[in-house]
Chains A and B, each alone.
Chain A
Amino acid sequence: MNAETDTTEEAGARTIRMEVMRFRPGEDTEPVFQGYDVPLMADWAVLDGLNHIKDQLDGSLSYRWSCRMGVCGSCGMTVNGEPRLTCGTFLTEYGQGPVRIEPLKGFPVIKDLVVDIDDFLAKLSSVRPWLIREGEELPLTTEYAQTPAQLEAYKQYSMCINCTLCYSACPVYVLDPDFLGPAAIALAQRYNLDSRDMGDRFDVLNLDDAVWGCTFVGECTRVCPKHVDPAEAIQRYKLTAALRSVLPWSRR
């Protein structure tokens, strides 16, 4: 907090203080907070405040965003200690302020509020999050209709937008980045429970650092903006994997 600068708006307008974590690679050895006063508008999300800073006050600020409507999953940051999508978190939630914006915890910081999610992307692809089919020739022409019950079996887990808020909220992942983590396991379950899927993800999920690393803190579920409930997905697979270990002939 030693590099605080004051940037005051014109007098009269209501403002809110945003304390934004800055980290300039190659220059800073550790992050510092920088304060900005931005207009406190009823319809402004935290992301609007950041855009105001970037456009009007300090063009050097770096952060990720894209859709502004909670579907792209790029704008996750730590807002007053909580992992949130900044496009869906309103400045008025924080009253008089200040609002403290930090990058998502648990990931290396590339610059300012931008974190490196390569680790998550590698974990995600390791669970093969797609429909695995066997014995089919290209081009695929057959349709596979599903009943509403078959859709319901996995639909909740398919809502994930890969925003990584669950990783940031998970103390197991933050303490030990080898943990496969909530979203990857939830997405593995999304395909495990799909009637069209023919794959088997037991070998990647039944590992000490996969489902067995989870101690069911439940924070992933609490912070998930899409109500995926990764904690449930993990506990369900624990039961599946345990039953398969005890009864080797059972598949699910």
Chain B
Amino acid sequence: MTAGGSASSGASPGASPGASSGASQGAFVRTGAAGYRPGRDPLWFARTRTYTLFVLRELTSVFVAWSVVFTMMLVDAVLGGTLPDFAALAARPWMIAINVVALAATVFHAVTFLNLAPKATVVRLDGWRVPAWMIQGGNHSAWAVISAAIAYFVLRTP
């Protein structure tokens, strides 16, 4: 669409009996004081489901930060010899509640982040573009393997 062609088709002068003086200057209408721009919509993120999902995806970052803090509290307890105190704190109901939400958030982060990764990294092998589902499948497989390895090293009994 070109600027001239598109601007003339709808807002042609004389089409509206109530058109202001702005429309009578020619076919090409530019906004001046008459143009209407709505104010900022403070609830924009609630307008569509996809916007809400986007904001939830971004807010997982709060729980990513929390998970790091929680892990460092654990490390501090292990190095300081206060692991039983940490275990008691972690077993408080509100702490478990926070961590259940943190688990959901970090899993949501992992799924969305690993799924979106092939958008930035276009892999071409000899001209053939590796399809997104293969990269995503590789990402999710790596996630499973790494998780299993960490669980093994943490839980194995010597």
Chain A in direct contact with chain B (Cβ < 8 angstroms): yes
State the A residues within 8 Å of B (CB): 23-28, 30-31, 59-66, 72-74, 81-82, 105, 108-114, 116-118, 121, 149, 152, 161-163, 171, 174-175, 215-219, 222, 231-232, 235-236, 238-239
> Which chain A residue lies CB-closest to B41?
A174
In the assembled complex, B103 has its CB within 8 A of some CB on chain A: no
Identify the 5 closest CB pairs spanning chains A and B, nearest first: A26-B20, A25-B34, A64-B10, A235-B120, A108-B35
Whether A171 contacts B6 in the complex (CB less than 8 A), given A26-B22, A118-B30, comes out as no
B47-75 with Cβ < 8 A to chain A: 47-48, 50-51, 54, 58
Cross-chain contact of B120 among A63, A117, A239 (Cβ < 8 A):
A239
- Looking across the interface, which residue of chain B has its beta carbon closest to that of A54? B15
Give the residue of B1, B41, B47 whose beta carbon is less than 8 angstroms from that of A73. Answer: B1
Which chain B residues in 1-58 approach chain A with CB under 8 Å? 1, 3, 5-7, 9-12, 15-23, 29-31, 34-38, 40-41, 44-45, 47-48, 50-51, 54, 58
Considering the chains assembled together, what is the distance between the CA atoms of A195 and B134 in angstroms? 27
- With both beta carbons as reference points, the residue of chain A lying nearest to B118 in the complex is identified as A232
Choose from A31, A171, A219 the contact partner of B36 (Cβ within 8 Å): A31
**Neighbouring B residues of A110 by C-beta, 8 Å:** 11, 29-31, 34-35
The docked-state distance in angstroms from the alpha carbon of A114 to that of B30 is 11
Please state if B121 and A217 are interface contacts (CB–CB under 8 Å).
no
Given A64-B11, A109-B35, A232-B119, 18 other A-B contacts at CB below 8 A? A24-B16, A25-B34, A26-B22, A27-B18, A30-B36, A60-B18, A62-B10, A62-B15, A74-B6, A110-B11, A111-B29, A174-B44, A215-B54, A218-B116, A219-B50, A232-B122, A236-B122, A239-B120
B residues near A, CB below 8 A? Answer: 1, 3, 5-7, 9-12, 15-23, 29-31, 34-38, 40-41, 44-45, 47-48, 50-51, 54, 58, 116, 119-122, 127, 129
Minimum Cβ distance to chain B for residue A100 (Å): 13
A60-B18, A116-B30 as given contacts; A236 in contact with B37, CB under 8 Å = no
Of all chain A residues, which has the CB nearest B127?
Answer: A149
User: What chain B residues lie within 8 Å of A231 (beta carbons)?
Assistant: 119
Nearest A residue to B15, CB-CB: A62
From A72, A82, A114, A171, B11 is in contact (CB under 8 Å) with A114
Distance between Cα atoms of A65 and B37 in the complex (Å): 22
Determine which of B5, B19, B22, B116 lies in contact with A66 in the assembled complex, contact meaning CB atoms within 8 Å. B5
Which A residues lie within 8 Å of B7 (CB)? 64, 114
Shortest Cβ distance from A117 into chain B, in angstroms?
A: 8
9 A-B pairs whose Cβ atoms sit less than 8 Å apart in the complex: A24-B20, A64-B10, A66-B5, A72-B1, A108-B31, A114-B11, A118-B30, A171-B45, A217-B51
A195 and B3 CA atoms in complex are apart in Å by 29
Residues of A within 8 A of B3 (CB): 117-118, 121
Flag if B34 contacts A74 (CB, 8 Å): no
- The chain B residue with its CB closest to the CB of A73 is B1
A171 to chain B: closest residue by CB: B44
B121 contacts across to A, CB distance below 8 A:
239
Residues in A with CB closer than 8 Å to B11 are: 62, 64, 110-111, 114
